[in-house]
Amino acid sequence: MPVGGARTSPAAGVDPERWPDVARLPRASALRTAVARRLVERAFTRLPLRIRHAAAGRHVTAIPRQDGGAPVLTLHDPDAFHRRVGADGLIGFGESYMAGEWDSDDLAGVLTVLAAHVDDLVPAPLRRLRNTWVRRRPEHHRNTPEGARDNVHRHYDLSNELFALFLDASMTYSSAVFAAFPASPATFTAAQHRKIDRLLDLAEIGPGTRLLEVGTGWGELAIRAASRGAHVLTVTLSTEQRDLARERIEAAGLSDRVTVDLRDYRHVEGSFDAVVSVEMIEAVGAEYWPAYFRALRRLLAPGGRVALQAITMPHQRMLHTARTHTWISKYVFPGGLIPSREAIAEESAAAGLSTVSDIGYGDHYAETLRLWREEFGRRADEVHALGFDRTFRRLWELYLAYSEAGFRSRYLDVRQLLLTADPMPQVTR
């Protein structure tokens, strides 16, 4: 990870070798820090949050929510918090949490409030100065064939054992579709199977179907497709996922119907009756969306169908994010970018694919993330036993809560789309 500024106030318990930008405070001018403090205090007093300064033992109470249960954000080190925000904006906000400089009694609640008011956090006149404040995405995060392997490795090859601690028994790392709310751990695997089966139905997967899956995960979709009688080629760039997927497919007795390859989507050859890709487009990067959709079109047999599941965000926010190095791109998904529905429609149409169906269910993703987040918290000791330190655990706490907040605030959505090479009447909801 990139090295930050001078180490003037190291965060307690943070390993400077593994987390250099968290272990030390960045260089930030007194002016930038003062501006950040003013903007943060202005925003907090206008939001349904309660801010507690732990060192001073006092509360700053903002506008109460109607239910009277405004979440509390506790600042343990306000000076360090404002300095990080002043230097690196939202990256600094995230690194401050990783360093233990702030906490919350309801992390997802605090982040949901912030996500819901993201357009109001900075006064309109100052938004024009945004490009002087944010950082550009690093060149080495580009999803070239080599870069894509490195980016996937940083997240998905962390440890199969880590993911097994908080995912459901199907080892599915994408949004479920629940039969009822609130979602329950007891129904989690059934909800994941419901999601997979909807996609397989969209793609009309049945006996003899030649199916390409772009993005293997840990093999559950390939297993369910092969159980329908399909012949599946599934490709991934994660060695950890490939190895466990092969084990699970063999255990299911389906090795004769499923091939798992460590291969870039750009290098796949053949002709397939259907292509399914679940929450993989977010890892492609805007620069390579044309290549991604051209590959899907090239690999599709006449009359074939493409079923995608994709996280989306509003188009203008996507355009801003595309140029920005964010906390998520730095620490969680290097090289990734969540597309807008408009971007998907434009890029797929340019590749010769027509959108037939486009259905959203973001509230289901919020519940999916809640279950992951709560289970991750319950298994904290086991995460530690796997060798992941406190800073990593706080990183993942924030990542899961941040993602949940995105869906609860409707900043994010998740869509299931059907694309074909033949024009058909559009069905949207």
The residue extents of the domains of the chain are 20-134, 141-428
Residue 407 has pLDDT above 50, yes or no: yes
| Residue type at 291 in one-letter notation | A
Phi, psi of 64 (to 5 degrees): -75, 145
366's CB contacts (< 8 A; 6+ apart) are 404, 407, 408
Residue 81 has pLDDT above 90, yes or no: yes
| Range with lowest mean pLDDT among 132-141, 287-296, 404-413 | 132-141
Alpha carbons 384 and 375: distance in angstroms, whole number: 14
Residue 69: predicted pLDDT = 76
Query: Residue 120: pLDDT band by 50, 70, 90 thresholds?
Result: low
Query: Residue 63: pLDDT band by 50, 70, 90 thresholds?
Result: very low
Residue 428: predicted pLDDT = 57
Residue 124: predicted pLDDT = 57
Phi, psi of 277 (to 5 degrees): -145, 120
Rounded to an integer, the average pLDDT of 128-141 is 72
pTM: 0.91
Rounded to an integer, the average pLDDT of 196-222 is 98
Residue 43: predicted pLDDT = 83
Alpha carbons 173 and 374: distance in angstroms, whole number: 15
Rounded to an integer, the average pLDDT of 41-57 is 81
Query: Residue 429: pLDDT band by 50, 70, 90 thresholds?
Result: low
> What does the angle CA 30 – CA 398 – CA 4 come to, to the nearest 5 degrees?
40
249's CB contacts (< 8 A; 6+ apart) are 219, 222, 223, 226, 255, 258, 260
Provide the percentage of residues in the chain whose pLDDT is more than 90: 78
Domain 141-428 in this protein, CATH class = alpha beta
Higher confidence at residue 422 or residue 332? 332
Rounded to an integer, the average pLDDT of 316-327 is 90
What is the number of other CB atoms lying within 10 angstroms of the CB of residue 404? 26
Query: Residue 61: pLDDT band by 50, 70, 90 thresholds?
Result: very low
Phi, psi of 206 (to 5 degrees): -155, -165
Residue 406: predicted pLDDT = 97
| Range with lowest mean pLDDT among 5-14, 262-271, 406-415 | 5-14
Quick: pLDDT tens for 164-195.
Answer: 999 999 999 999 999 999 999 999 999 999 99
Residue 257 has pLDDT above 50, yes or no: yes
